[in-house]
Amino acid sequence: MPMDPLVSRARALWQELAAEPGAGFGTPGRPTVLVAPDSALAPPSWVGVVAVGDAALITAPTERAADSVRSALTGLTTAALTDPAAVARLLPVADLLGPAALGYLAPDALRPAGRTPPPTARLSPRHAALRALLAEAGPSDAGESGLADVTSPVFVVRRGTEVLAAAGYEHWPRATAHLCVLTAPDARGRGLARQAAHAATAHALAAGLLPQWRARPPASRRVARALGYREVGRQLSVRPA
């Protein structure tokens, strides 16, 4: 049976991010575990777990850490490999990040932003109004959004000169557009993130890129699903004890 095209493209991306030539996803119950200190699957010196479809790829910073991961996690279901509680029961853990859901959008799957969406404008990523939005959102939400790292134009919904919602994307390997979305705290729940993200996603698709939506908050994941993104994987980062 042919592999789902979104799964195939997502795996190719994360294999490249593993920074280990020839890296490949394992099979159900037997994830691939690699020693890859330069991996982008997790912060430096952490273990990175990415599950896409029914298989997973794990990178570890040292051979010792890789041996511990193989011994502890081989045999787990693919879903359990990105379950913090399941991993913490089997592996000595000092800290965890995630899991984050990984959503991707097929070229013909983008859904409308809404019945009467507000207009969007386009700003430079370094525009002062975007810096003001990041400051208003606070370090936690701003960092979660990734908006400070975008390399595309930023699509915004404004009230006068104030930016209420903004979305752009960071260029990742394998022609991937990593979506970054942020809404001002007092403007949430009004569909503005969906409108800005729709414009950014359409821009990525027009450039021939694969839109990726990585998110932990349920509200962000709902916006992605409303636009047509399909979750095909999850990512978990583990700092071994």
Residues 165 and 130 in one domain: yes
Tokens for 96, please give them.
Answer: 């965890």
Please report whether residue 47 resides in a domain: yes
Count of structural domains, the chain: 2
Report d(CA 82, CA 76) in Å as an integer. Answer: 10
Q: What is the pLDDT, as a whole number, of residue 116?
A: 64
Residues 96 and 130 in one domain: no
Please report whether residue 227 resides in a domain: no
Residue whose pair of structure tokens reads 């399909």 in the numeric block: 230
Paired strand residues for 232: none
Q: What is the DSSP letter of 24?
A: -
Local mean pLDDT, 10-residue blocks, the chain (241 residues): 86 94 87 94 96 96 94 93 95 94 96 77 94 94 93 95 95 97 93 94 98 94 96 96 86
Please report whether residue 217 resides in a domain: no
Strand (E) or helix (H) holding 110:
none
Please report whether residue 110 resides in a domain: no
Q: What is the pLDDT, as a whole number, of residue 114?
A: 77
Residues 91 and 145 in one domain: no
Q: What is the pLDDT, as a whole number, of residue 50?
A: 97
Q: What is the pLDDT, as a whole number, of residue 23?
A: 81
Q: What is the pLDDT, as a whole number, of residue 29?
A: 87
Q: What is the pLDDT, as a whole number, of residue 117?
A: 66
Q: What is the pLDDT, as a whole number, of residue 196?
A: 95
Cβ burial 160-169 (10 Å sphere, 16+ → b, else e):
eeebbbbbbb
Residues 11 and 97 in one domain: yes
Please report whether residue 135 resides in a domain: yes
Residues 130 and 203 in one domain: yes
Report d(CA 167, CA 212) in Å as an integer. Answer: 13
Q: Collapse the DSSP code of 68 into the 3-class scheme (helix H, G, I; strand E, B; otherwise coil) and give the result.
A: helix
pTM: predicted TM-score of the whole model, two decimal places: 0.93
Structural domain including 90 reads: 5-101+234-240
Q: What is the pLDDT, as a whole number, of residue 21?
A: 76
Residues 133 and 94 in one domain: no
Report d(CA 225, CA 103) in Å as an integer. Answer: 8
Q: What is the pLDDT, as a whole number, of residue 225?
A: 97
